[in-house]
C-alpha cells in the first residue's frame, strides 16, 4: 500500500477550505441580514425617503440636526434611559437572588427553576397582552386584589406617571429568569473547595461567604448579565407596542418604538434610520464603558 | 481525503438548498393569477370572502383570484415596503382608503379615472358619493370602495329600561341620559356603572370618533381646496369640552388606553353606552349576556358621523392585467357581492342598489341594529385621503390626549395641534 505524502500546508489548506464552506451559509445569512442592513441604515440616514418611492432625496445631515433640535427626541432618549435604569438593576438583582435561592435548594428545584424561566420563553407580545389584562383599571386582577385591602383602583397603564413603571415591572418579570440561568451557571462553576477553605479559615456566615467568594467569582456572569440586559433594554419594542403604544402622553415612548413609528407609520425612513444610528452609537458607548468599568474584556 | 470531499459537498448542498429556495420563492405568481392581499379579521368573514371569490373564479375561468390575508393592518406598511422593493407586491390591495395616499404619491398605484369613465357598463353614481371622496387623492381616483361602515352608539337596553330613559337625540339629552345611567350605589365616588365611555389614547380611533363631535358642533376638519385644517376654535373646543365635561362629572369613564374600540367594559356591564361600528354585530348576537341596541350619534348644531371602511387599489406593476382587475372590482362593488358580504359580515354595502335590494331590506327588518348604521350613512363625512393624513391624525391624537389628561386646556391643545399640522401640509 502506497500512500502519497502530503505536505502540512496541503492539509491546512484543505481543511480550512471545508471550514470556509461550512461558514459560508452562516456568513451569507449574517451579511444579508446584519451587515448589509447596518450599512444601509447608515446610508439612508443621509436621505429623505418614504420607503416606497423609487427616488430618494439627499439631505446630508438634516436628519441628524433635525433630531438634535427636536425636544421630542430628547424626551424619548430620556425615556429610554429611564426604562433601562428601572429594568436593568432590578432584573439583575432579582435574577441573582433567584439563582442564589435555587442554587442548593433540593426541594422542587427543577420545578421552580422552570417556573421562573417560563416568562423568558413566552413571546413578549403575548405576555404584554396578558399584562394589559392584569393591569386593567376597571377589571384587572391587580386592582381586584388591591380592592380586597380597600385600596382604590390604580390606573397602571393609563396614568402617565405609572405607565413606565408598569411596563418596567412586566419587563423585569420577563427578563429575570434569563439572568437567573446565567447566574446559576456561574454559581455552579465555582469550585466547592473554596467554601471548604472558608470553614477551615473560620469564615462563617452566608454574607461573608458571598462577599469574599461568590461575588468575585461570579464576575464573568455578572458582566455578561449587565451588558446583555442593558442592550436588550435599549432595544425593547414589543412590550411597548403591545401595552402602551408609547403613551399616555408619550410617557413610555422609547427609541425603538419611535423608530418604528417614524419609519413605518409616517414613512420617514431616512429620519428613522438616523435615530437607529444614534441608538447604535449609544448602545456601543454604554457597552464599551461597561467593559472598561468591569476591568476589560476578560470579564466576559 | 474522502472525508474532506464529503464535507465540502455537504456544505455545497446546504448552500444550494438555500439558494434554490430563494429562487423558487421569488418566482411565485403568474399571468393567470391575481394576488389579492387583504386584512379582513375573523374566521367567519374570511370564509365568506373565500366562498365569494371561489364563486367568482368558477364563473370567469380565465383568471384566478388568490386571496391572502396579511394580518394586522397597522403592520402592513413595512410589508408593502419590502414587497415593493422585492417586486413581490400583490396585484390588488385591500386597506383603509386614507392609507393609500403615500402609495399613490410614490407612483405605485394605478389611477382609475380612465377605466371608470370608459366603461359604460359601470354606474359610478350607484356608489355613495362620500366613498368616492375618500377614494380621491390629489384629484384622481386611486382606489375603489370594497366595504363601508359608520359610527353610532351601542346601548345596553336593560340599563335604559331600569333607568327609565329613552334614546337621546341631542348632546343635551345624551348628557342627561348618561347622568341617569351612572350608578354609584355605595357612594364611594367610584361609580359601578358609567353612562358613557370616552375613547382614550392618541391613536386613530380617538381621532376618528372625535371628528364626529367636531362636525356635530358645526366645525370642519380639513378643506381639500385650500389644503388647510380648521378644527381649532369654537366648534372643536366645544366638542372636546363636551367629552371632558362628561368625564369631570364622572358620568363617563376612560377607555383602556389606545383601545376605545374594545367592548370589554360594555359587555361586562360597567358602561351603558359606547361609540362603535356595525362590524361587531355577529359577535354581539352570539353573546347572550347583554341586549344591545344602537342609535345615531346625538346632534349638536348638526348631525354627523364618520364614514370608514376599506377600499381596494391596484398596483401599477399589474397594469397589463387591468381588464381582469377591473372586472373583479366591478364584481366586488356590484349588487350581488355587496348584499351577500354585508349580510354575513355586518359591513355596510357601498352600492345603493345593494342597500335597496329586497334581500338586504329584509335583513335590515330583522336587524334594526344595522339599520341605524345604514341610516347614518346619509349624515356621514369622510377623512381626507392625503398622504399626510397619518401624521395629521397622530399629531391631533397626541393633543387630544394632552387635553384629556388635563395637560392643556382644550382650546389651547387644539390650537397647538392645528399649528403643528399646518407646518406639515
Question: Could you tell me where the beta strands, DSSP code E, fall in B43-112?
Answer: 64-69, 92-95
Q: Please judge whether B268 and A139 are an interchain contact, meaning their C-beta atoms are less than 8 angstroms apart.
A: yes
Q: Which ipTM did the prediction report?
A: 0.82
> How much is the pLDDT for A299?
42
Instruction: Count how many pairs of residues, chain A against chain B, have C-beta atoms within 8 Å.
Output: 102
- To the nearest whole Å, the CA of A228 is away from the closest chain B CA by 28
For chain A, domain boundaries: 62-299
Separation between Cα atoms, residue A210 and residue B326, nearest integer Å: 75
> Three cell numbers at B127?
356608489
Who among B81, B202, B407 is closest to A247 (CB)?
B202
Is A139–B402 a contact, with Cβ atoms under 8 angstroms apart?
no
Q: Residues of A near B (CB-CB distance < 8 A)?
A: 14-15, 17-18, 21-22, 24-25, 28, 50-54, 132, 136-139, 152-153, 157-158, 160, 163, 244-245, 247-250, 261, 263-267, 269
SS3 category, B384: coil
Q: A-chain residues within 8 Å CB-CB of B257?
A: 157-158, 163, 244-245, 247-248
Q: Is A52 in contact with B81 (Cβ distance < 8 A)?
A: yes
| Grid cell of B312 as nine digits | 381596494
Average pLDDT of the segment spanning A203-211:
84
pTM: 0.85
| pLDDT number for residue A6 | 64
DSSP state of B97: G
Q: What does the alpha-carbon distance between residue A115 and residue A118 come to, in Å, rounded to a whole number?
A: 5
The rounded mean pLDDT for chain B is: 91
pLDDT tens string B228-280: 999 998 999 999 999 999 999 999 999 988 888 999 889 989 999 999 999 98
Q: Give chain B positions within 8 Å (CB) of A250.
A: 398
Dist. CA A275–CA A194, nearest whole Å: 49
Nearest to A248 among B7, B8, B401 (CB): B401
Q: How far apart are CA B54 and CA A31, in angstroms?
A: 43
DSSP letter for A263, please: I
**Contact between B221 and B418 (Cβ < 8 Å):** no
Q: In this predicted structure, what is the pLDDT of residue B410?
A: 96
Residue in B75, B77, B256 closest to A267 by CB = B77
The CATH number of the structural domain formed by A62-299 is 1.10.3720.10
Q: With pLDDT > 90 as the criterion, what percentage of chain A qualifies?
A: 64
Domains of chain B: 32-149+308-381 (3.40.190.10), 152-306+388-424 (3.40.190.10)
Cβ within 8 Å, pair B4-A53: no
> Looking at the predicted structure, is the pLDDT value of residue A297 above 70?
no
* Cβ contact B11–A24 (<8 Å): yes
Amino acid at each position: 500500500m502506497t500512500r502519497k505524502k502530503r505536505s502540512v500546508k496541503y492539509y491546512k489548506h484543505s481543511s480550512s477550505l471545508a471550514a470556509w464552506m461550512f461558514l459560508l451559509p452562516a456568513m451569507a445569512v449574517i451579511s444579508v441580514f446584519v451587515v448589509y442592513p447596518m450599512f444601509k441604515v447608515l446610508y439612508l440616514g443621509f436621505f429623505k425617503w418614504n420607503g416606497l418611492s423609487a427616488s430618494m432625496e439627499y439631505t446630508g445631515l438634516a436628519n441628524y440636526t433635525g433630531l438634535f433640535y427636536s425636544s421630542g427626541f430628547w424626551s424619548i432618549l430620556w425615556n429610554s434611559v429611564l426604562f433601562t435604569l428601572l429594568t436593568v438593576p432590578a432584573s439583575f438583582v432579582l435574577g441573582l437572588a433567584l439563582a442564589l435561592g435555587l442554587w442548593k435548594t433540593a426541594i422542587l428545584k427543577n420545578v421552580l427553576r422552570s417556573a421562573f424561566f417560563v416568562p423568558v420563553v413566552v413571546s413578549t407580545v403575548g405576555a404584554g397582552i396578558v399584562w394589559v389584562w392584569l393591569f386593567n383599571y376597571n377589571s384587572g386582577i391587580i386592582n381586584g386584589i388591591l380592592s380586597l385591602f380597600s385600596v382604590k383602583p390604580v390606573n397602571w397603564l393609563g396614568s402617565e406617571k405609572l405607565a413606565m413603571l408598569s411596563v418596567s415591572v412586566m419587563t423585569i418579570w420577563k427578563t429575570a429568569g434569563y439572568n437567573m440561568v446565567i447566574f446559576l451557571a456561574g454559581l455552579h462553576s465555582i469550585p466547592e473547595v473554596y467554601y471548604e477553605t472558608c470553614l477551615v479559615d473560620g469564615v462563617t456566615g452566608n454574607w461573608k461567604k458571598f462577599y469574599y467568594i461568590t461575588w468575585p467569582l461570579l464576575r464573568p456572569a455578572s458582566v455578561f448579565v449587565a451588558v446583555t440586559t442593558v442592550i436588550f433594554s435599549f432595544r425593547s419594542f414589543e412590550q411597548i407596542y403591545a401595552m402602551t403604544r408609547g403613551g399616555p402622553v408619550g410617557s413610555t415612548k422609547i427609541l425603538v418604538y419611535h423608530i418604528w413609528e417614524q419609519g413605518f407609520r409616517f414613512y420617514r425612513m431616512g429620519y428613522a434610520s438616523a435615530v437607529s444610528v444614534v441608538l447604535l452609537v449609544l448602545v456601543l458607548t454604554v457597552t464599551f464603558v461597561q467593559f472598561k468599568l468591569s476591568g476589560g474584556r476578560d470579564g466576559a | 481525503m474522502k472525508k474532506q470531499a464529503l464535507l465540502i459537498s455537504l456544505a455545497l448542498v446546504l448552500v444550494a438548498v438555500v439558494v434554490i429556495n430563494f429562487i423558487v420563492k421569488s418566482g411565485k405568481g403568474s399571468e393567470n393569477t391575481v394576488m389579492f392581499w387583504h386584512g379582513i379579521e375573523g374566521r367567519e368573514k374570511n370564509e365568506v370572502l373565500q366562498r365569494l371569490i371561489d364563486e367568482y373564479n368558477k364563473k370567469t375561468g380565465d383568471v384566478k383570484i388568490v386571496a391572502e390575508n396579511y394580518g394586522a393592518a397597522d403592520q402592513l406598511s413595512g410589508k408593502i415596503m419590502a414587497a415593493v422593493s422585492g417586486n413581490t407586491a400583490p396585484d390588488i390591495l385591500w386597506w383603509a382608503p386614507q392609507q393609500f395616499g403615500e402609495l399613490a404619491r410614490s407612483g405605485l398605484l394605478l389611477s382609475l379615472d380612465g377605466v371608470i369613465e370608459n366603461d359604460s357598463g359601470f354606474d359610478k353614481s350607484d356608489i355613495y358619493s362620500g366613498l368616492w371622496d375618500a377614494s380621491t387623492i390629489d384629484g384622481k381616483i386611486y382606489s375603489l370602495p370594497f366595504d363601508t361602515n359608520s359610527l353610532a352608539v351601542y346601548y345596553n337596553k336593560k340599563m335604559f329600561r331600569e333607568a327609565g330613559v329613552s334614546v337621546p337625540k341631542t348632546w343635551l339629552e345624551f348628557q342627561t341620559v348618561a347622568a341617569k345611567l351612572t350608578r354609584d350605589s355605595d357612594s364611594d365616588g367610584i361609580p359601578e356603572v358609567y353612562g358613557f365611555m370616552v375613547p382614550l389614547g392618541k391613536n386613530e380611533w380617538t381621532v376618528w370618533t372625535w371628528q364626529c363631535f367636531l362636525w356635530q358642533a358645526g366645525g370642519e376638519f380639513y378643506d381639500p381646496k385650500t389644503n388647510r385644517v380648521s378644527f381649532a376654535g369654537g366648534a372643536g373646543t366645544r366638542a372636546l369640552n363636551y367629552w371632558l365635561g362628561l368625564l369631570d362629572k364622572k358620568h363617563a369613564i376612560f377607555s383602556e388606553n389606545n383601545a376605545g374600540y374594545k367592548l370589554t367594559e360594555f359587555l361586562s356591564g360597567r358602561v351603558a353606552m359606547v361609540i362603535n361600528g356595525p362590524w361587531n354585530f355577529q359577535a354581539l348576537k352570539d353573546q347572550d349576556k347583554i341586549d344591545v341596541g344602537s342609535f345615531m350619534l346625538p346632534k349638536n348644531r348638526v348631525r354627523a358621523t364618520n364614514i370608514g371602511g376599506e377600499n381596494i387599489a391596484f398596483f401599477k406593476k399589474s397594469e397589463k392585467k387591468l381588464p381582469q382587475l377591473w372586472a373583479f372590482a366591478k364584481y366586488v362593488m356590484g349588487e350581488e357581492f355587496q348584499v351577500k358580504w354585508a349580510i354575513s359580515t355586518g359591513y355596510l354595502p357601498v352600492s345603493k342598489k345593494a342597500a335597496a335590494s329586497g334581500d338586504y331590506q329584509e335583513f335590515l327588518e330583522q336587524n334594526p341594529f344595522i339599520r341605524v348604521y345604514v341610516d347614518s350613512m346619509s349624515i356621514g363625512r369622510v377623512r381626507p385621503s392625503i398622504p399626510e393624513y397619518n401624521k395629521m391624525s397622530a399629531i391631533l391624537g397626541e393633543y387630544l390626549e394632552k387635553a384629556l389628561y388635563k395637560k392643556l386646556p382644550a382650546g389651547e391643545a387644539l390650537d397647538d395641534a392645528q399649528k403643528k399640522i399646518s407646518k406639515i401640509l
